Amino acid sequence: MAEFKFSCPQCGQKIRGDVGYAGLPINCPACQQPIVVPPPPSQSPIPPATRAAAVKSPERFKLPVLKRFKLPPRRILLIAGVSAAALAAVIITTIYLGFWNSTRTIWNGWTPLSGDKKQWSFSHGKINGHSTTAEIMLASPGKYSDVTFSATVENISGQAAIAIRMQDRNNGYLVVFAAGRARNPGNGGSIVLEKMTSGNGAILATTRGNLTSASSIGQTAKIRVIARGTLMEVLVDGKKVLQARDSTFTAGRMGIAISRNANLPGDATFSKVSFR
C-alpha cells in the first residue's frame, strides 16, 4: 500500500506509515504520546472496513520507526533514575521484611529493659533466656503504637511474655504465657493480657486450658499480639483467644520477657520473632 508522511501533533516528530493506518490510534515513536494517524493528504479518511482489515493483518501495515530517531539524553537519564529508585525500593523492602524483622537482627539490636543481656543467648535461630531471680526483658530501641508482634514461644519453666507499649520496665502491657505441665494433660497452660502500672499488674483478659495444638501439651505456642488504637487482640496458633480495650498506654517499646515461678527458674526460647 502507498505510504505517506505526517507529523506528531505533540512533539513534531516526522513519521512515515502506510495509508492503511489512517484513523487508527498509535503511540508516537518519539514521545510515546497517544495520537491518531491522520488521513493521507488530499484523501478522505479510510472506511471502517478497510481499517478493520488493517487491524486483522498488522504484519502488512507495520509502522516503521525512523532509523534516525534517538532517545534524548534527558529522557535516558530520567528512565535510569526511575529504574534506580524502583530497584532501591525493592532492596529496602527486602531488607525490612527479610532482615530487620528477623530473629537474629532483633537479637542484635534489642537491649535489656530489665536484667542483663548475659542472661540471654542466640543459637539456631532462637533467642534463649534464663533467669533464676527477677524478670528479664529484651526491648526494641524504638517505640511503636499500632503494631502486630508475633513469636513462637517455647516455655520450658516459669513464664514467658510478649511486651508491647512499654514505657519502662514497670509500665506497659504484657501477654504472659504460662505453660501447662506434661504430667497433667488437662492443663494446657494459660494466656494473660496484663497492664503494668508502676510495677503493679492488672489483668485485662485471661484464658486457660488446651490453648495450643503442640504435642508438648501447652509448652509451645505461636503467639500473635495485634494492637490497633485502644483494641488489643491475642491469637494463639492462629486462633483469637483474648481481646481487651485500654487507653492507658498508646505507644512504647516492644519486648520479650521471662520470669521465674515459685521454686522454678524462668527458661524459654523465642523464635520466628517478627513485627510490622
CA 101 to chain centre: 9
* pLDDT tens digit sequence for 58-70: 444 445 544 554 5
Let me know if residue 94 belongs to a domain.
no
Higher-confidence position of 148 and 87: 148
The whole-number pLDDT of residue 180 equals 56
Q: Residue 65 domain-assigned?
A: no
173 and 55 belong to one structural domain:
no
Q: Which of 101-105, 169-173, 184-188 has the lowest mean pLDDT?
A: 184-188
Q: Best-predicted range by mean pLDDT among 41-50, 83-92, 132-141, 143-152?
A: 143-152
Q: Which residue has the higher pLDDT, 266 or 93?
A: 266
- At position 262, the amino acid (one-letter code) is A
Name the E strands within 19-158: 25-27, 34-36, 111-114, 120-123, 126-131, 136-144, 147-157
User: What is residue 165's predicted lDDT score, i.e. its pLDDT?
Assistant: 97
Joined grid coordinates for residue 260: 521465674
Domain span at residue 223 reads: 103-275
**CATH number for the domain that contains residue 241:** 2.60.120.560
Measured distance CA(34)–CA(31) in Å, rounded: 9
The reported pLDDT for the residue numbered 23 is 83
248 plus 186 within the same structural domain = yes
Pick from 2-6, 66-70, 156-160, 266-270 the range whose average pLDDT is largest.
Answer: 266-270
For residues 252 and 117, state if they share a domain: yes
CA–CA distance from 251 to each of 96, 171, 224, 237 (Å)?
21, 11, 18, 26
The residue ranking higher by pLDDT, 31 or 165, is: 165
3-state secondary structure of 10: coil
Task: Report the pLDDT value the prediction gives residue 186, as an integer from 0 to 100.
Answer: 41
Residue 272 pLDDT exceeds 70: yes
* 240 plus 111 within the same structural domain: yes
- The answer to whether position 204 is within a domain reads yes
What whole-number distance in Å separates Cα of residue 149 and Cα of residue 275?
4
Same domain, 261 and 134: yes
Asked if residue 268 and residue 133 are part of one domain, the reply reads yes
> Where is pLDDT greater, at 15 or 43?
15
Share of the chain above pLDDT 70, in %: 70
116 and 56 in one domain? no
In a domain, 180, yes or no: yes
Q: Is the pLDDT of residue 56 over 50?
A: no
Residues 253 and 126 in one domain: yes
**Inside any domain, residue 267:** yes
Q: What's at 78, amino acid-wise? A: L
Q: How confident is the model at residue 144 (pLDDT cuts 50, 70, 90)?
A: very high
> Can you tell me the distance from the alpha carbon of 88 to that of 154, in angstroms, rounded to the nearest whole number?
37
CATH number at residue 41: 2.20.28
> From CA 39, how far away is CA 41, in angstroms rounded?
6
Looking at the 3D structure of the chain, how many domains does it have? 2
Distance of CA 205 to the CA centre of its chain: 28
* 249, 167 contact by CB (below 8 A): yes
Least confident of 27-41, 116-130, 191-205, 241-255: 27-41
- Beta strand 111-114 with 159-168 is unpaired
Residue 68 lies in a domain: no
pLDDT in tens, 214-262: 434 347 889 999 999 999 999 998 999 999 999 999 999 999 999 887 7
Q: Do 234 and 150 have their domain in common?
A: yes
CA-based end-to-end distance of the chain: 62
Mean pLDDT of 167-180: 89
> Quick one: 50 and 185 in the same domain?
no
Nearest to 246 by CA among 199, 193, 198: 193
Residue 73 counted as domain residue: no
Name the CA radius of gyration of the chain, rounded.
33
Q: Are residues 129 and 55 in the same domain?
A: no
Q: Which residues of 158-188 are buried (b: 16+ CB within 10 A; e: fewer)?
A: bbbbbbbbbbebebbbbbbbbbbeeeeeebb
**What is the residue type of 128?**
N
- Tell which residue, 43, 42, 61, has the closest CA to residue 52: 61
Please give the mean pLDDT across all residues of the chain: 78
pLDDT at 87: 65
Specify whether 200 is located in the same domain as 146.
yes
Listed ranges 49-53, 71-75, 119-123; the one with the highest mean pLDDT: 119-123
Residue 97 falls inside a structural domain? no
Q: Average pLDDT of 153-171?
A: 92
Q: Which residues pair with 117 in a beta bridge?
A: none
